[in-house]
Chain A
Amino acid sequence: MIGCGRRHTRAVYLLLTVIAIIALIPFVWSVSTSLKSLEDAYAFPPSLTVDDVRWSNYGDVFEKLPFGRFLLNSAVIALAAVTGAVVTSSMAGYALARLPMRGKRVWFVLLVASLMLPSQVLLIPHFLMYESLGWVGTYKPLIVPAWLGGGAFNVFLFRQYFRSIAMDVEEAAVLDGATRWQFYRFVLMPMAKPVVVAVAVLSLLYHWQAFLNPLLYLSDFRKYPVSLGLRMYQTMAGTWVNLLMAASLIAVVPMVIVFFVGFRVFDAGRRGD
Chain B
Amino acid sequence: MVKRSWRESGVAFALPWMVGMVTLTLVPMAVSLTLSFARWDGLGFDSIGWVGSAHYERLWPWSGGESVDPRAVRALTNTVAYSLFAVSLNLMAAMVLALLLNRRLRGMVVFRTVFFLPYLLSSVATVMMWSWLFNPRFGLVNRGLRVVCDFLAMWPGLDGFATIELPGWLYSEAGCMPTLVLMHVWLCGGPMLVFLAALQRVPMSLYEAAALDGAGRWRRFWHVTMPQLSPAVLFNLVIGLIFAMQTFDRAYLLYNRSQNDGLLFYMLYLYRIAFETPFRIGFASAMAWVLFVVIAVMVVPVLIVGRRVVFYAVRR
* Chain A positions near chain B (C-beta within 8 angstroms): 1-2, 4, 9, 12-13, 15-16, 19-20, 22-27, 29-30, 45-46, 88-89, 91-92, 94-102, 104, 107, 110-126, 129, 145, 147-150, 153, 155-157, 160-161, 163-167, 179-181, 184, 194-195, 198, 202, 205, 209, 230, 244-245, 248, 251-252, 255-256, 259-260, 263-264, 266-267, 269-270, 273
Contacts and interface: CB of A to CB of B under 8 A. Distances in A.
A259 B14 contact: no
A245 B124 CA distance: 9
B10 interface: yes
B14 A116 contact: no
A25 B129 contact: yes
A269 B281 CA distance: 47
Q: Is the interface of A mostly helix, strand, loop or mixed?
A: helix
A168 B8 CA distance: 18
B264 to A, nearest CB: 16
B284 A121 contact: yes
B114 A167 contact: no
Contacts of A156: 235, 239
Q: Which of A24, A26, A155, A202 has the most CB of B within 10 A?
A: A26
Sort A-B residue pairs by CB-CB distance and give the 7 closest, nearest first. A148-B20, A101-B10, A99-B10, A149-B17, A92-B17, A125-B28, A95-B14
Interface of B: 4, 7-14, 16-21, 23-29, 31-32, 42, 97, 100-105, 107, 109, 111-122, 124-126, 128-129, 132-133, 138, 186, 190, 193-194, 196-197, 200-201, 203, 207, 211, 220, 231, 235, 238-239, 242, 246, 267, 270-271, 274-275, 281, 284-285, 288, 291-292, 295-296, 299, 303, 312-314
A112 B300 CA distance: 9
Q: Which of B20, B115, B242 has the most CB of A within 10 A?
A: B20
Contacts of B4: 180
A273 B200 contact: yes
A116 B105 contact: no
Contact of A107 (B14, B103, B190, B235): B14
B277 to A, nearest CB: 15
A209 B299 CA distance: 27
A149 B193 CA distance: 22
Contact of B9 (A101, A251, A259): A101
Given A118-B270, A125-B28, 19 more contacts: A1-B103, A26-B126, A30-B125, A46-B132, A88-B20, A95-B10, A99-B10, A100-B9, A111-B21, A115-B239, A124-B281, A125-B32, A149-B21, A155-B17, A166-B313, A180-B4, A198-B193, A202-B193, A252-B122
Nearest to A166: B313
A243 to B, nearest CB: 12
A179 B201 CA distance: 26
Given A23-B118, A115-B242, A122 B28 contact: yes
B229 to A, nearest CB: 11
B299 to A, nearest CB: 6
Q: Is the interface of B mostly helix, strand, loop or mixed?
A: helix
A30 to B, nearest CB: 4
A184 B13 contact: yes
A110 B21 contact: yes
Contacts of B242: 115-116
A76 to B, nearest CB: 20
A252 B109 contact: no
9 contacts: A1-B102, A12-B100, A23-B118, A88-B16, A91-B13, A97-B314, A118-B292, A122-B29, A167-B314
A255 B231 contact: no
B129 A19 contact: no
A234 to B, nearest CB: 9
Contacts of A273: 200-201, 203
Contacts of B11: 95, 101-102
Contacts of A166: 313-314
Nearest to A120: B271
B113 A179 contact: no
A115 B89 CA distance: 22
Contacts of B275: 120, 123
A248 B193 contact: no
Nearest to B193: A198
A1 B104 contact: yes
A205 B312 contact: no
B273 to A, nearest CB: 10
Contact of B32 (A46, A115, A122, A180): A122
Given A100-B10, A116-B296, A273-B201, A88 B17 contact: yes
Given A88-B17, A110-B21, A113-B296, A4 B103 contact: yes
B13 A114 contact: no
Nearest to B194: A198
A1 B210 CA distance: 13
